[in-house]
Chains A and B, each alone.
Chain A
Amino acid sequence: MMLTNQIRCWQPFIGPFDPCKPMLVKTFVTPPNLFIPFQPPRLPQFPPYEALQKGTLWPLFFSPYDCRQQ
């Protein structure tokens, strides 16, 4: 189950003696900078104010960190 292209999920092991209610699926974020070893020059940029909002100057590296919906 993939929410967006940057969120991946995995199913933790659930044993009979788990003390708490088990979490069936857990998610983690894989931001773009994991897959780009060296930043190429002259990348397209956000306008300054939007860059401040989004947290990065280059759309290529933008990673939405939206809250979980459950």
Chain B
Amino acid sequence: MQKPLDDAYYRLLCELQTADFVLVELSLFLDTHPQDMEALRQFNQFEQKRQQLAAQYELQYGPLLQFGHSFSRYPFQWVETPWPWQV
């Protein structure tokens, strides 16, 4: 079954990328500023938002990651293409 790569799919993936990028920047910042309360609060906010986005994506379009980092429906969805990095 070919996944419907519609506009909503790309928008959701883009939001996920945005949240991931902010998390990368904040974690690098927190490496050198562990006492910064505000950055930590923002980091946790984005982490929560990222989990919601990932759950929403996986509910509609299948697993994001392999090797037990994502749920999968029957039959095993990881076999189908496209994979998230191919789109």
A residues within 8 Å of B by Cβ?
38-39, 41-42, 48-49, 51-52, 56-58
Contact = CB atoms under 8 A, between A and B. Distances in A.
B54 interface: no
Q: SS class of chain A's interface: helix, strand, loop or mixed?
A: loop
Contacts of B21: 48, 51-52, 57
Contact of A41 (B14, B26, B33): B33
Contacts, number: 32
Interface in B25-50: 25-26, 29, 32-33, 36, 38-39, 46
A57 B22 contact: yes
Nearest to A61: B25
Nearest to B22: A48
B5 to A, nearest CB: 20
B25 A57 contact: yes
B17 interface: yes
Given A48-B18, A51-B18, A56-B25, 6 more contacts: A38-B32, A39-B32, A48-B19, A51-B22, A57-B22, A57-B25
Contact of A51 (B25, B29, B32, B33): B25
A59 B26 CA distance: 14
B6 to A, nearest CB: 20
